[in-house]
Amino acid sequence: MPDTPAPPPEILGDEPGSFPRSVLAERHPAIIRQVRDAFPYDPGVHRALDALLASCLEGVLEPLPADAHDGRLWRAWGLDDWSGRPWFDAPWLWSESYFYRRLLEAVGYFGPGPWQGIDPFRPSKLAELDAPETGEELAVLDRLEARPAEERAHALLHGSLWGNRADLGFRLSDADAEERAAVPALVADDSETLWSLLPAADNASSTVCIVADNAGRELIPDLLLAAHLLAHGRASRVVLYVKPYPYYVSDATPADVVDALRKLTGAPGAAAGYGRRLWAALADGTLTVRVHPFAAAPLPFERMPDDLRTEFAAATLTLVKGDLNYRRLVGDRRWPATTPFADVTAHFPGPVAALRTLKSEVVVGLSADTEAALDAAEGRRWRTGGTHALIQVRG
């Protein structure tokens, strides 16, 4: 058998001046401050947030309380290996995920008590849903209705890809802008393969799984895309995977799905029709919301449990959204950017497509020319700035 080369090292949070270290040392304390101000928490919560802040800045990873409902799960995910060690020493993916688990512990999310089940990020999620820009994006759906199905599909796929970073209106009014730019915003585009994996019309049964990322202005276009796939027979069933609890500030939970649907059904024009169709799809089971503990695990998808593996294996296609899910899909490692996407996603149990704006250093599947052009134009900024995106597919 040929030797399989060892994968490159995992990304840790320990390198001075690095992006991961700044997330641990600066962003996490800022998130604690933001959460502290979001609700009239009691002194016990303030003390727990003080302790978490001290632990983040100079302390070590503490174990979970002995009676934590998910203690066994976290031990299986490696807690005993990391507790007692500095946050910066653990794989970045591991320490970030654990931070959100500890933050929810500190604000009493897991209860019992008055703060049980209160999403500490809900005020910012709701503010985004209510922002005028959200309404403006939804209004574009009225114009989209008149366009041919193929053009609508393209716009909705790109709306889902770009989430809150570029609106559907931009995709509609200046569809060629990416191609004209010196370094295209889309650094890899397998969208033709993506569409080719779905049945052309409703003469076949096809399940599309969407592993969602953020709530609000990313989840709404994800739902619009789901509605389109169902309405045009590109999927006979869509399963939307969301997080079991608030995570990475804006990640979508079941409550956020409900908020997004209410936003759609309450909107004027075509958006309300999408909302009603999605509502009906949930009622008749053609759209399902799925929550699995592994969605908030600090591990790559390669280590997903068997029940999830079976679900994705049965899907016609799984769409994996966003930067964090990309890191989990390809492995949060120092891959050369030209590593083939198909190689690093060979572990995934079925056809898979990544839709991601680039917000962390990990990237694979680029041509050498694309990488060189990006480096020449932007140094390393293109990797983390969120200004570039990719659609990568393994059929």
Ligand X SMILES: O=P(O)(O)OC[C@H]1O[C@](O)(CO)[C@@H](O)[C@@H]1O
Q: Which residues bind ligand X (CB under 6 A)?
A: 23, 96, 213-214, 248, 322-324, 327, 359-360
Output 110 or 248, the one with its CB closest to ligand X: 248
Contact 220, 163 (CB under 8 A): no
Output 137 or 213, the one with its CB closest to ligand X: 213
The length of the chain is 395
Q: How far is the CB of 360 from ligand X (least distance, A)?
A: 4
Output 389 or 393, the one with its CB closest to ligand X: 389
Q: How far is the CB of 103 from ligand X (least distance, A)?
A: 13
Between the two ends of the chain, the Cα-to-Cα distance in Å is 25
Q: How far is the CB of 163 from ligand X (least distance, A)?
A: 8
SS3 content of the chain, % helix, strand, coil (to 5): 50, 10, 35
Output 214 or 345, the one with its CB closest to ligand X: 214
Contact 235, 316 (CB under 8 A): yes
Contact 349, 318 (CB under 8 A): no
Q: How far is the CB of 214 from ligand X (least distance, A)?
A: 5
Rounded-to-integer distance, Cα 332 and Cα 326, Å:
8
Cα-trace Rg, the chain: 21
Q: How far is the CB of 330 from ligand X (least distance, A)?
A: 12
Q: How far is the CB of 212 from ligand X (least distance, A)?
A: 10
Torsion, CA 87, CA 90, CA 95, CA 96, rounded to 10: 110
Number of H helices, E strands in the chain: 20, 7
Residue 221, token pair as written in the block: 């276009």
Output 119 or 323, the one with its CB closest to ligand X: 323
Q: How far is the CB of 296 from ligand X (least distance, A)?
A: 12
Output 327 or 394, the one with its CB closest to ligand X: 327
φ, ψ dihedrals at 20, nearest 5°: -55, -40
Output 23 or 155, the one with its CB closest to ligand X: 23
Rounded-to-integer distance, Cα 381 and Cα 387, Å:
9
Q: Is the dihedral of CA 115, 117, 119, 122 positive or negative?
A: negative
